[in-house]
Amino acid sequence: MTNHWIDLKNADVILAMGGNPASNHPISMKWIMRAREKGAKLICVDPRFTQTAAKADLYAPLRSGTDIAFLGGMIKYILDNNLYFKEYVVNYTNAAFLVNPDFKGPADLDGLFSGYNLEKKNYDKASWAFQKDEKGIPLRDNTLEDPNCVFQLLKKHYARYTPEKVVNITGTPMDKLMEVYKLFGSTGTPDRVGTECYAMGWTQHTVGTQNIRAMTIIQVLLGNMGMPGGGINALRGESNVQGSTDYGILFHIWPGYNAVPNASLVDLAAYNEKNTPKTNEPGSVNWWSNRPKYIASYLKAVYGEAATKENDFGYSWMPKIDVGQNASWLMIFDKMYKGEFDGFFAWGQNPACSGANSNKTRQAMTKLKWLVNVNLFDNETASFWRGPGMNPKDIQTEVFMLPCCSSMEKEGSITNSGRWGQWRYKAIEPQGGSLPDAEIINELYFKVKELYKKEGGAYPDPVVNLSWDYGDKDATGKVKHVDSHAIAKEINGYYLEDVYDKKADPPKLIGKKGDLVASFAFLKDDGSTSSGNWLYCNSYVTKDGKSVNMMARRGKDDPTGLGLYSGWAWAWPVNRRVIYNRASVDLQGNPWDPKRSLLKWDAAKPGWVGDVPDGGAPPMGTSGKLPFIMKPDGVASMFGPGLAEGPFPEHYEALECPVDKNSMSGQRINPTIKIFGDKMDAFASCDLRFPFVGTTYRVSEHWQTGVMTRHCSWLLEMQPQNFVEMSIELAKDLKLTNGEAVVVSSARGEVKAVALVSERFKPFKIADSTVHQVGLPWHFGWQFPEDGSGYDSANLLTPNVGDANTMIPESKAFMVNVRKA
């Protein structure tokens, strides 16, 4: 979230699209309803009349996979009716930038952008670049009239998204479409703010990244980004998926969103050169220019005293991916299916049910030599060898199921969607024979290290040099029990020597050796500081000689009345509660809306009052500093030349879709997606065998694959088994009745479910045809309930095709059939 949960109360219009907060983040509705009590309007756009829709002022249905058409139409509506916030657009976005005159878009090239390479299925992006002056600063036309400026290109691109064309694609009733456009478009004035809440309904598509970008364009057109009650808010699915992302448990990033090095970056200097953005724009804060400090501090945290300036702080000990290598989820299971892995850890995760195309995932695991699963409960992954269709005697995988304890049985922090790091205390000892995950990690670290010390082996340096100082040690040097505070402090980072501000005369002491670093502004690239994750630097600090855990704070002051609760827990970065908050003020530093004063420049002080500002420079009108500090150009990217499939979002159909032609262009699907080619990767579009659009979703009573909730009797009783929801009209066509057992099938597999016939789905009228959509929750699996009464996972149906940028699978739009069981 750019903003945070309580901030939803500050909105005038809340758009829930791509997410269903009432079911999946129920307590968030407290703040949405608080906004409504003050007159705000809630809009729900969803293929299904969800629990959020039931509470909404306005509901508009759309066919799964058509969000860009819907949002593209909204961009056109905002532009046609001059509803955009011009001062914001000109000063705080790249709308005025001039693009290379060679740039061409889908309006010119029938659905493609200039530079497409059909053979490689990717783009040469040279023509997407900005025109620049001799210093490399983009040329601009602040009148927004130059035909090559971003604003005019945006207008041209979305001129094709007429309401008529949009409803033919989305199936949304015209009157509802226009009501949504009008209501959300009303937030382009300084005194009105709109926010957006999305979740996997936007990410799990082959165009997932562009779904979100389309909304971002709307939010900057309307001046809603950085505003209290505004922003773009990912309602993340797990209690600590924000934290685990921040900590880089992904192939492409180290903690703090630093790129994993590839092989061609042979030393730290090459890495820094490649990954540190440069700009000559005098107004740009260009925060990522600090990256070398974060990298050196990270390597110092990882390798401790073994990391020296002479050995590049241990940079060569870090594994490198090949240039251009994608080692993401779908690639892992494709390689595993081909027998290319011997060992596999599934730690606190149940891929046998959570990954798309579960049949392939489950088959892939049979090719492993060994598998380790860590969980509270047995599950479909740990027990894959005894699952449906498996013959255990044929499966030569050695399997370990390690029982970890619950969150009440250990101590540590987690980070919610609003970026609040919150501390959890231990209430009881680990139950049964379970261990905290940290203890299991600790044991494995020491056991593997011991083997290398005793036996030697392949390149032991990274293993034996790792720093691991997390608690009291036994006679052999092994940490007996992990102290989570010691880790939290390493993450924050230390001054490793006395650090001085050398510009002051005489040099002034900034930090004393051994103290916790006060914030990432003090991190150094010379090895004099450590920080396991720069983004969390300031979460555990030294104050008056004592260590203070900022994440454990329980202050309740709310001086702005906006619900920032800056003294409660701690938010990254540096306790900033709303990201890009410098876009909430005008060029003089006054809030766009004085009634919603998140931040204000006090010239007498001089300084900012309110939230922690995005950089401390005075207002843009005096200092010239631009508000979007993480962007090298300093402004929000209406035109985004970095993405795989184009600088503007364009509507493409899902890989599996019910139409043989994209009404918008001759290009039916995203031209840059990777399609796997094995028989296990089958897909079927416009195929009579699979005539209905399928989607997956969640219910309040279960969580993810259901491992933690199916095993809780109170929750299982409320939602005992898999169902498939469908319209009354479709049930009639198929001669099905509510409660009847059915089989849902796709090109990849089938799953049993109970037919849930309801008015919540309605047939979609698109172009000249009628399209039916059905939906299933993905919480169930064969392993529990043990009698099989819950049926199996909806991910047996979903396709293993990913978004062109993120490779997140397209679990929200695919094609199925439904038949009597």
Partner 1 sequence: MGVSRRDFLKLSGGTVLVATLGVNLDPAKAYAKDLRIKNAKQTTTICPYCSVGCGLIVYQENGKVINTEGDPDHPINEGALCSKGASVMQLANNDKRVGKPLYREPGATAWKEVEWDWALDRIARLVKDTRDKSFKTTSKAKVKEKQADGTEIMVEKEFVVNRTDSIAHVGSAALDNEECYILQKLVRSWGLVYVEHQARI
By CB under 8 A, the residues from 768 to 797 that bind partner 1 are 784
Judged by beta carbon, residue 62 or residue 265, the one nearer partner 1 is 265
Residues 432-451 close enough to bind partner 1 by CB under 8 A = 432-438, 440-445, 447-448, 450-451
- Least distance from C-beta 482 to partner 1, angstroms? 8
- Residue from 82, 119, 120, 319 binding partner 1 (CB under 8 A): 319
**What distance in Å separates the CA atoms of residue 750 and residue 737, rounded to the nearest whole number?**
20
Output the smallest distance, CB 463 to partner 1, in A.
Answer: 5
Among 686, 815, 659, which residue's Cα sits nearest to residue 747?
815
Alpha helix ranges (H) inside 545-680: 620-623
Separation between Cα atoms, residue 633 and residue 278, nearest integer Å: 9
The residue whose two tokens read 């092989």 is 263
Candidate residues 123, 344, 495, 570; the one interacting with partner 1 per rule CB under 8 A: 344
Residues 6+ apart with CB under 8 A from 217: 75, 154, 638, 648, 649
Hey, what's the torsion of the CAs at 115, 116, 117, 120, to 10 degrees? Answer: 120
**Interaction of residue 223 with partner 1, rule CB under 8 A:** no
Task: State which of residues 109, 466, 743, 754 lies at the interface with partner 1 (CB under 8 A).
Answer: 466
Residue 545 makes contact with partner 1 by CB under 8 A: no
DSSP-assigned states of every residue in 751-819: EEEEEEE-TTS--EEETTEEE-EEEEE---BTTBSTTSTT---GGGTS---B-TTT--B--SSEEEEEE
150 neighbors 138 (Cβ within 8 angstroms): no
Nearest 10 degrees: CA dihedral of 25, 29, 30, 32?
130
Closest among 781, 791, 793, 707 to 378, alpha carbons compared: 707
Q: Least distance from C-beta 715 to partner 1, angstroms?
A: 6
Specify the stretch interacting with partner 1 by CB under 8 A; choose among 51-59, 107-115, 128-136, 350-358. Answer: 350-358
Beta carbon of residue 339, minimum distance to partner 1 (angstroms, whole number): 11
Q: Looking only at Cα atoms, what is the longest distance across the chain?
A: 87
Structure tokens at 61: 């249905």
**Closer of 82 and 713 to partner 1 (Cβ):** 713
C-beta separation of 365 from 384 below 8 A: yes
- Per rule CB under 8 A, is residue 246 in the interface with partner 1? yes
Q: Which stretch binds partner 1 (CB under 8 A): 101-109, 459-467, 589-597, 764-772?
A: 459-467
Question: Residue 266 or residue 509: which is nearer to partner 1 going by CB?
Answer: 266
701 binds partner 1 (CB under 8 A): yes
Q: By CB under 8 A, what part of segment 565-624 binds partner 1?
A: 565, 568
CB of 225 to partner 1, least distance (A): 21
Q: Is the preceding omega at residue 606 within 30 degrees of 0, hence cis?
A: yes
Q: Should residue 426 be labelled a site residue for partner 1 when binding is judged by CB under 8 A?
A: yes
Query: Nearest approach, Cβ of 323 to partner 1 (angstroms)?
Result: 5
Report if residue 811 touches partner 1, rule: CB under 8 A. Answer: yes
Q: Which of residues 372 and 675 has its CB atom nearest to partner 1 in the complex?
A: 372
Kindly tell me the burial class for residue 175, based on how many C-beta atoms sit within 10 Å of its own C-beta (0-12, 13-18, 19 or more): exposed
Query: Which residue, 260 or 587, has its beta carbon nearer to partner 1?
Result: 260
Contact residue for partner 1 among 266, 509, 603, 741 (CB under 8 A): 266
Q: Cα 787 to the chain's mean position, in Å?
A: 36
Residue 415, interface with partner 1 (CB under 8 A)? yes
What 3-state class would DSSP assign to 188? helix
Residue 113 makes contact with partner 1 by CB under 8 A: no
Q: Which residues are paired to 197 by β-bridges?
A: 16, 233
Q: Does 472 bind partner 1 (CB under 8 A)?
A: no
Give the number of residues in contact with partner 1, rule: CB under 8 A.
170
**Smallest distance from the beta carbon of 561 to partner 1, in angstroms?**
13
| 297 belongs to the binding site for partner 1 (CB under 8 A) | no
Give the nearer residue to partner 1 in terms of CB position, either 79 or 463. Answer: 463
Q: Is 703 in the site for partner 1 (CB under 8 A)?
A: yes
Cα 1 from Cα 234, distance rounded (Å): 5
Q: Inter-axis angle of helices 163-170 and 67-80, to 10 degrees? A: 160
Among 133, 273, 398, 469, binds partner 1 (CB under 8 A): 398
Within 365-384, the residues that bind partner 1 by CB under 8 A are: 369-370, 372, 374-378, 382-383
Cβ proximity to partner 1: between 252 and 765 the closer is: 252
Q: Which of 42, 221, 807, 818 binds partner 1 (CB under 8 A)?
A: 807
Asked if 355 interacts with partner 1 (CB under 8 A), we say: yes
Q: Phi and psi dihedrals of 542, rounded to 5?
A: -95, 120
Which helix (DSSP H) or strand (DSSP E) does residue 398 occupy?
strand 398-403
Phi, psi of 672 (to 5 degrees): -115, 10
Among the listed residues 178, 250, 587, 682, the single contact to partner 1 using CB under 8 A: 250
Does position 732 bind partner 1 by CB under 8 A? no
Residue placing its CB nearer to partner 1 in the complex, 428 or 603: 428
Footprint of partner 1 on 83-102 (CB under 8 A): none
Would you say 176 or 424 has its CB closer to partner 1? Answer: 424
Bond into 613 cis (ω within 30): no
C-beta closer to partner 1: residue 104 or 386: 386
385 lies in the site for partner 1, by CB under 8 A: yes
216 with 569: CB under 8 angstroms? Answer: no
According to DSSP, the β-strands at 420-424 and 412-415 are antiparallel
The reply to whether 457 sits near partner 1 by the rule CB under 8 A is yes
C-beta of 235 vs 585, nearer to partner 1: 235
79 lines the binding site for partner 1 (CB under 8 A): no
Please give the C-alpha separations between residue 749 and each of 198, 212, 337, 795, in angstroms, as whole numbers: 28, 30, 16, 9
Q: Which of residues 5-64 bind partner 1 (CB under 8 A)?
A: 5-6, 24-28, 30
Residue whose CB is less far from partner 1, 238 or 515: 238
Contact between 346 and partner 1 by CB under 8 A: the answer reads yes
Question: Among residues 85, 271, 341, 782, which is the contact residue for partner 1, using CB under 8 A?
Answer: 341
- The amino acid sitting at 516 is L
The DSSP bridge partners found for residue 770 are 765
When asked if residue 538 is in the footprint of partner 1 (CB under 8 A), the reply is: no
CA-closest candidate to residue 805, choices 213, 216, 358, 305:
213
* Helix H or strand E encompassing 254: strand 253-254
Distance (Å, rounded) from C-alpha 248 to C-alpha 596? 35
By the rule CB under 8 A, 500 interacts with partner 1: no
| Binding status of residue 247 toward partner 1 by CB under 8 A | yes
Quick check: 700 binds partner 1 (CB under 8 A)?
Answer: yes
Q: Does 462 bind partner 1 (CB under 8 A)?
A: yes
b/e map 486-505, b = 16+ CB within 10 Å: ebbbbbbbbbbeebeeeeee
Span from 143-151, 318-326, 622-630, 766-774 in contact with partner 1 (CB under 8 A): 318-326
Is residue 402 a contact residue for partner 1 (CB under 8 A)?
A: yes
* Closest to partner 1 by CB, 372 or 587: 372
Q: Does 813 bind partner 1 (CB under 8 A)?
A: no
Q: Cβ closer to partner 1: 255 or 283? A: 255
Q: Does 395 bind partner 1 (CB under 8 A)?
A: yes
Report the distance separating Cα 667 and Cα 547, nearest Å: 58
Mark the segment that binds partner 1 (CB under 8 A) among 89-97, 146-154, 157-165, 340-348.
340-348
CB of 371 to partner 1, least distance (A): 9
Q: Does the bond joining 138 to the residue before it have cis omega, within 30 degrees of 0?
A: no
